[in-house]
């Protein structure tokens, strides 16, 4: 077994354990492997191990890798801050965008649809901190943003996404996120996704109802320094 296969299996075992402890079915949890800063060859290797859902946080990397691997059956999730001028190319490449945090971006993504496009899955990214630089909309804006997405004909509102704060235990932050998920479901009952949980806090996220985990380094190994 390769080191990569071992790490993937170990993470999947942790997910299964955490789901069991939370009284949940692990089949209701999608494990997205975050491959940012790693080459397309690693994504190909992951695909060979059965990985389907992969995540990227930069437009250029998403586009380059998804084009290079276009013959593989992969679902690309975009999880990073997104400039409106890059909405079109990210929409082309991604199956889902987790990081929608402002109305202008909703309009840009909706306007980027081509005739005949399937609706694009999008999530409201919620900021669980008081620092606007961390990305995500402040909690008091969640309902209005969800309504804007629900009204966009080419977007499908799927749920919420968040990153745990650095200065708070993840469990209490993810408990708040579960409340914001309810606000979004009040707008769109089918918006059942909760995208939360990274390498360090996946157990807490599963306990708080996460349906989509974004796991990077625990599976891929350490990332090279950002270039
Ligand atoms: C990099 C990243 C992850 C994965 O983080 P790890 O700690 O490597 O698991 C998850 N979510 C977002 C938004 C990221 O940018």
Q: What is the pLDDT along the chain (227 residues), one digit of tens a residue?
A: 899 999 999 999 999 999 999 999 999 999 999 999 999 999 999 999 999 999 999 999 999 999 999 999 999 999 999 999 999 999 999 999 999 999 999 999 999 999 999 999 999 999 999 999 999 999 999 999 999 999 999 999 999 999 999 999 999 999 999 999 999 999 999 999 999 999 999 999 999 999 999 999 999 997 766 54
Q: Which residue stretches of 22-128 are H helix?
A: 40-48, 59-68, 87-93, 103-111
Q: Which CATH class is domain 3-220?
A: alpha beta
For the full predicted model, state whether its pTM sits above 0.75.
yes
E strand segments, the chain: 30-34, 53-56, 75-78, 96-100, 120-125, 155-161, 193-195, 212-215
Is the CB of 195 within 6 Å of ligand 1? no
Tokens representing 183 are 């606000």
Tell me what pLDDT residue 227 has. Answer: 45
Sign of CA dihedral 37, 27, 210, 204: negative
Q: Which residue stretches of 70-129 are H helix?
A: 87-93, 103-111
Q: Return the residue whose CA atom lies nearest to atom 10 of ligand 1.
A: 214
Is the CB of 217 within 6 Å of ligand 1? yes
Q: Is 92 helix (H, G, I), strand (E, B) or coil?
A: helix
């Amino acid at each position: 077994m390769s080191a990569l296969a071992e790490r993937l299996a170990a993470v999947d075992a942790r997910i299964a354990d955490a789901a069991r402890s939370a009284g949940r079915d692990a089949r209701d949890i999608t494990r997205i492997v975050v491959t940012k800063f790693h080459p397309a060859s690693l994504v190909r290797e992951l695909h060979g191990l059965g990985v389907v859902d992969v995540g990227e946080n930069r437009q250029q990397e998403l586009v380059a890798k998804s084009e290079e691997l276009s013959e593989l059956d992969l679902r690309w999730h975009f999880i990073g801050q997104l400039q409106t001028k890059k909405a079109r190319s990210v929409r082309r490449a991604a199956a889902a965008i987790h990081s929608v945090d402002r109305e202008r971006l909703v309009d840009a993504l909706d306007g980027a649809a081509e005739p005949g496009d399937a609706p694009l899955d999008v999530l409201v990214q919620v900021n669980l901190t008081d620092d606007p630089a961390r990305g995500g909309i402040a909690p008091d804006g969640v309902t209005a943003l969800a309504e804007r997405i629900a009204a966009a004909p080419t977007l499908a509102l799927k749920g919420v996404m968040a990153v745990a704060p650095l200065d708070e235990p993840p469990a209490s932050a993810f408990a708040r996120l579960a409340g914001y998920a309810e606000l979004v479901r009040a707008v769109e009952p089918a918006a059942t996704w909760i995208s939360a949980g990274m390498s360090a806090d996946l157990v807490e996220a599963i306990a708080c109802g996460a349906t989509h985990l974004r796991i990077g380094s625990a599976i891929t190994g350490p990332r090279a320094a950002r270039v």
